[in-house]
């Protein structure tokens, strides 16, 4: 896989239920990882979903997660565009152009799960995530 583009949905503690619902609607394989599994949760946050990915039988990919601790949930702003793959040079180039003139929430750098990851909002207000595996 060179790279993929898909929606990334944000939830306020209901990511598990929502992603299971989408699996029931679209079919496919669902992978869910909690904040507790990766060391990012505390107390009640341990069971919240840090990352979920549904790969449907029709070839769609839907990703989603509960907002991380300390990040406010804003209804209406619950979708981010996600770029992911293993073509690091291409994805870093996309990152640089998307972040230029925008704002960076999480710098593109190695994360606790081993991939490079960053979050930014482009100059037009569209939020993006880039993950390099």
CB of 85 within 8 A of CB of 2? yes
CB of 121 within 8 A of CB of 103? yes
End-to-end Cα distance, the chain: 10
Q: What is the pLDDT of residues 91-116, one digit of tens each?
A: 999 999 899 999 999 999 999 999 99
pLDDT of residue 59: 87
Give me Rg for the CA atoms of the chain.
Answer: 15
Best CATH choice for the domain 79-133 from the list 1.10.10.60, 3.40.250.10, 3.40.50.720, 3.10.180.10: 3.10.180.10
Give the list of residues 6+ apart from residue 113 with CB closer than 8 angstroms, or none: 38
pLDDT of residue 68: 82
Q: Which has the higher per-residue pLDDT, 90 or 39?
A: 90
CB of 52 within 8 A of CB of 38? no
pLDDT of residue 110: 97
d(CA 126, CA 21): 26
3-class secondary structure, 75:
coil
What's CA 98's distance to the chain center, in Å?
Answer: 16
pTM over 0.85: no
Q: Identify the bridge partners of residue 117 per DSSP, sorted by sequence position.
A: 109, 131
Percent share of the chain, pLDDT over 70: 97
pLDDT of residue 40: 61
Domain ranges of the chain: 11-60, 79-133
**Best CA proximity match to 28, nearest among 4, 50, 59:** 59
How many residues does this entry show for the chain? 133
């Amino acid at each position: 896989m060179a790279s993929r583009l898909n929606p990334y949905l944000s939830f306020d503690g209901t990511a598990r239920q929502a992603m299971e619902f989408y699996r029931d609607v679209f079919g496919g394989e669902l992978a869910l990882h909690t904040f507790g599994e990766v060391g990012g949760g505390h107390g009640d946050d341990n069971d919240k979903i840090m990352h979920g990915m549904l790969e449907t039988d029709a070839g769609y990919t839907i990703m989603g997660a509960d907002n991380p601790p300390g990040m406010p949930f804003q209804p209406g702003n619950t979708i981010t565009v996600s770029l992911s793959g293993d073509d690091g040079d291409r994805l870093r180039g996309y990152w640089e152009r998307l972040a230029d003139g925008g704002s960076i929430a999480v710098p593109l750098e190695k994360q606790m799960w081993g991939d490079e990851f960053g979050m930014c909002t482009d100059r037009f207000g569209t939020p993006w995530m880039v993950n390099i595996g």
